[in-house]
Amino acid sequence: MGSTSSDPSSAASEASLQQDTLRGLALMTGAMFLVPLMDVLAKYLTATLPPLEIALGRFVFQALFAFLTAAIGPGLAVLKTSRPWPHLLRGVFLAGALVLLFTALKVMPVADAIAIFFVEPMILTALSAIVLKEHVGARRWIAIFVGLAGSMLIIRPGFDAFGPVALLPLGTAFLFALYLLFTKRLSGEGSMLSIQFTTGAGGALVLGALAVLAVIFDVESAILVPAPLPAVGLIAVIGAISFFAHGLIVRAFALAPASVLAPFNYLEIITATLFGFLVFGDFPDALTWAGIAIIVGCGLYITHRERISLRENTRASGNRTGATADDEFIA
């Protein structure tokens, strides 16, 4: 008798989970269409502005949008965090990643730079094993090295065409992996707006300091120049895209399992290729597509293995606590 009364409730719960997952996928898809627009705008602006200036403006506007959203909505108290310095350091890693990426975009096609950047999940997996002491099996280590080899298929002709700049997206991937590593360690600390604000403030502070050093040491390529009003407007749009896309991603992960959403990250390569072709006429050659296929394949395999590992750990935890694996997975 008890089972029949619980069936409708169970079916409704399952339907609600499926609906949340679909909403999460829709939000993630939207974010993956937005993020490449930021890169395309940055590449366009590098024709007249230093990459450092574009990245600095991006972080200033990101912090400003977070501040204004808090002031208009829940109040400035939500911007506070118990440990601001680790959050600011996270912004420093992201700032370095974007300066390297924007510098690469000055000469490289958007799709090539973004494709190389997507070795980041492999670097993050390796760093998680080294720094966080997470277990990474032999098959995932093989996927990491194969994925890095795939990036070389894109870098090699790029190195011939653009020189050492072709290596910068690898640096972006490494710094972004450090940013995500800190995100893992700080999970649950602070609201989304506080994360956005401290990340923007940390990035702006370090890039502002670099701008001062560029003047002191006369590094011409990094010295800020007066930006015309339309350029300032485009930088503001870059900051808005970053702020809004991050919000979509955070909300997507709140609605759907990370293992379901992870493959959708690779939509960014497709949209970056599309926008790069429409705006700049760039289209990857066969060797680049081969490298992209290897990187995406290895990334998806690592995601698959992590999902299996999560289920095994969940099942072991459920056996110890008396909960079922399915209950833990749904929670």
Write down the pTM of the prediction: 0.85
DSSP 3-state of 109: coil
Q: Is 111 exposed, middle or buried (0-12, 13-18, 19+ CB in 10 A)?
A: buried
Neighbours of 53 (CB within 10 A): 24
Could you tell me how far CA 271 lies from the centroid of its own chain? 15
Instruction: Look at 1 and 95; give whichever has higher pLDDT.
Output: 95
What is the per-residue pLDDT across 125-139, written as a single tens digit (0 to 9) for each?
Answer: 898 888 878 888 888
pLDDT at 135: 83
What is the per-residue pLDDT across 64-101, written as a single tens digit (0 to 9) for each?
Answer: 999 999 999 999 999 988 788 888 888 999 999 999 99
- Give yes or no for a contact between 70 and 197, defined as CB atoms under 8 angstroms apart: yes
- Residue 3: is its pLDDT beyond 70? no
* 227: DSSP letter: P
**Separation between Cα atoms, residue 73 and residue 63, nearest integer Å:** 15
CA distances from 235 to 59, 220, 239, 261 (A): 10, 21, 6, 29
**Separation between Cα atoms, residue 271 and residue 184, nearest integer Å:** 27
| Backbone phi, psi, residue 224, to 5° | -65, 145
| Backbone phi, psi, residue 265, to 5° | -55, -35
Query: What would the DSSP string read from start to end of 107-148?
Result: TS-HHHHHHHHTTHHHHHHHHHHHHS-----HHHHHHHHHHH
- Give yes or no for a contact between 97 and 175, defined as CB atoms under 8 angstroms apart: yes
Instruction: Look at 168 and 82; give whichever has higher pLDDT.
Output: 168
pLDDT over 90, % of the chain:
54
**Half-sphere exposure in the Cβ direction for 73 (13 Å, CA):** 10
Could you tell me how far CA 50 lies from the centroid of its own chain? 23
**Separation between Cα atoms, residue 175 and residue 171, nearest integer Å:** 6
Report the length, in residues, of the chain: 331
What confidence tier does 329 reach under pLDDT thresholds 50, 70, 90?
Answer: very low
